[in-house]
Amino acid sequence: MAGDGAVALVTGSTSGIGAGVARRLAAAGYRVIVHSRSSTEAGRALAEDIGDAHYVQADLAVDADRSRLVNDAVAVWGRLDVLINNAGISHVIPHQELAAATPDVWHALYEVNVIAPFRLITAAEPFLRAAARDGRSAAVVNIGSHAGVRPKGASIPYAASKAALTHVTKLLAVSLAPGIRVNAVAPGLVDTPLTADWLDAQELWRVRSPMRRPATPDDVAEMVLALVGSDYVTGEVLVVDGGLNLT
């Protein structure tokens, strides 16, 4: 439990995994910064529902907004202890349709899924280091994807962007140690409104995964909280796929 008023910023946290993480961190005693690009009403409602939380809007495809998001988050309570890079975008393209994966698609996915987390960590580093100097646990958790560790996913550019985020996680775990720990969670299929009509994927998880079901947002949030709460683990990528990798 974070009993010292620790502050966590969770990007893309108005629904799905992000909302689950925000709620779980709040329940553990964190003061939470909720974020979205456009769903401002949902963000304010979630922050009010959580209680000790505040909503900030920012477009993570815009570099100035990345810095502003971190600065606005710190301005609320004067500190930042935890950064959860959950926000991301996808683009569905069959893997064999190479021409459809245009440079514009690659650039858009890398801008939000790779560059934005890196720039947010860069902006947050001084505040996270201040937390570490004060004896507090400073942590970053990046939300990757099963597609970043296996040759699958909505598109090749999407999978490649998540694989890049995985490697960035490991590089930063070395670069920012020992004061700041950097880990990642790589979910497989997660049961959210976005995936409600992914019937083939749902069948795959029910039949092939040892746990016989997709993850819930709370399953992922539990792993995020475990990584945030550890004072030792860094550079790890936890695959949360119900054991599908085993089959």
Domain coverage including residue 154:
7-246
What pLDDT sits at residue 205? 74
What pLDDT sits at residue 211? 82
- Structural element, H or E, at residue 199: helix 199-208
140-185: pLDDT as tens digits: 999 999 888 888 888 999 999 999 999 999 999 999 999 999 999 9
What pLDDT sits at residue 96? 93
Mean pLDDT split into 10-residue runs, the chain, 247 residues: 85 95 96 96 95 96 98 97 96 93 97 98 98 92 90 90 97 98 92 74 80 88 96 95 81
111-127: pLDDT as tens digits: 999 999 999 999 999 99
Sheet of strand 7-10: strand arrangement: 53-57, 31-36, 7-10, 82-85, 138-143, 180-187, 237-240
Q: What pTM, to 2 d.p., does this model score? A: 0.94
Q: How many domains does the chain have?
A: 1
Q: Which residues are catalytic, by number? A: 158
Locate 119 and state its tokens: 């720039």
Residue at 2 is within a domain: no
Strands 237-240 and 138-143: unpaired
What pLDDT sits at residue 194? 72
What pLDDT sits at residue 17? 95
* CA–CA distance, 51 with 184 (Å, rounded to integer): 27
* CA 39 and chain centroid, separation: 17
CA separation (Å) from 108 to 41, 112, 162, 179?
A: 25, 7, 13, 32
Residue whose structure tokens are 């629904």: 15
Residue at 1 is within a domain: no
What pLDDT sits at residue 215? 84
Residue at 87 is within a domain: yes
CATH of the domain at 154: 3.40.50.720
Residue at 168 is within a domain: yes
What pLDDT sits at residue 3? 60
